[in-house]
Amino acid sequence: MLVVEDVWKSFNNKSVLKGVNLEVKEGEVVSLLGPNGAGKTTLLKIVTGILRPDRGKVVINGFNPEDLRARTFIGFCPQEPGLIEDLTGLENMLFYARLQGLDGRKVIGKIKELLKNMGLAMDMNKPVRKYSGGMKKKLSLATTLIHDPKMLILDEPTTGMDPGVRRDVWKIIEEERKSNKAILLATHYMEEAEVLSDRVYIINQGGIVAVGTPEELKSRYAPPSVIEIELYKFPKDIDETFRGSSLSYTMHENKVRVHSENTEEDIPRLVTLIHEKGGAVRSLNVTKPTLEDVFLRLTGRGLNI
């Protein structure tokens, strides 16, 4: 369905994409996983024909993305919803139906069903300006599905959603996969990529650094174990503290994830280092590695950067 071959793109002499190769087949979800600024959105804009690559080629069902025939196959959900704030949710859906050349009167039943599936049926007659951020994202996804495209291209579709709403959207994406759609999902959420993906392309600084199923990537690149430490008192210099352990780590709020080849040796060493630097541990657990740990191993930084 989608083939990307050796795609390069620069802005102001700065390379944003560097020889990207990627493939998405019917009936699979392929995730493009990386931090903000890694090149995900630029690649999706090239795939959808919004931008042209400097080098390389993109083929969608046999067509160039700029060919109108290719665009009939695509449903694109951008990172920022392109909705008309003064129109209601229903009116926005009708507007996008007309953009796709559909007769609103003939698809009104499908539109209402989509809004129901998104949990927006009770709010479809409200102006979009009164919608929450999560509701706008769900409405944007609904507009993407109106013409029943063969391929969905989703740019950070759950950013800003609370966990419950995010899981509702995951269910919708899984249903679309079951209907044999090809789905390309750009995300910086590790759990999203793990739950949904048949294959994951990890992108960093414009280049693909690893490809595989979530389990293949963890088996190939992740450490055997991860020590998750919750602090209730921070050391004086937390970066210096964990650099002193010579172990890879990521930090989010008051939790630190440390890669370990030998937990029996590393746990007492880490606890001692934290206490020596004036910190205190609230809890400590040994967990299985995630795709974020794979990313850290490959790039030396976490996905939240």
Residue 63 reports pLDDT greater than 70? yes
Domain boundaries, the chain: 2-218, 223-288
* pLDDT at residue 233, as a whole number: 86
Higher pLDDT pick, 86 / 163: 86
Does the fold of domain 223-288 match that of domain 2-218?
no
Q: What is the pLDDT of residues 87-134, one digit of tens each?
A: 999 999 999 999 888 888 889 999 999 999 889 999 999 999 999 988
- Could you please state the CATH topology (level 3) that the domain comprising 223-288 is classified under: Alpha-Beta Plaits (3.30.70)
Any idea which of 13-27, 50-64, 155-169, 290-304 has the lowest mean pLDDT? 290-304
Q: Count CA atoms closer than 13 A to 99's CA, side-chain side.
A: 14
Mean pLDDT for all residues in the chain: 90
Query: Domain 2-218: which CATH class?
Result: alpha beta
What's this model's pTM, rounded to 2 decimal places? 0.84
Per-residue CA distances from 200 to 9, 103, 222 (Å): 21, 38, 14
Model confidence band, residue 53 (pLDDT cutoffs 50, 70, 90):
very high
Residue 244 reports pLDDT greater than 70? no
Instruction: With CA atoms as reference, report the closest residue to 47 among 201, 195, 211.
Output: 201
DSSP states of 9-75 as a string?
Answer: EEETTEEEEEEEEEEE-TT-EEEEE--TTSSHHHHHHHHTTSS--SEEEEEETTB-TTSHHHHTTEE
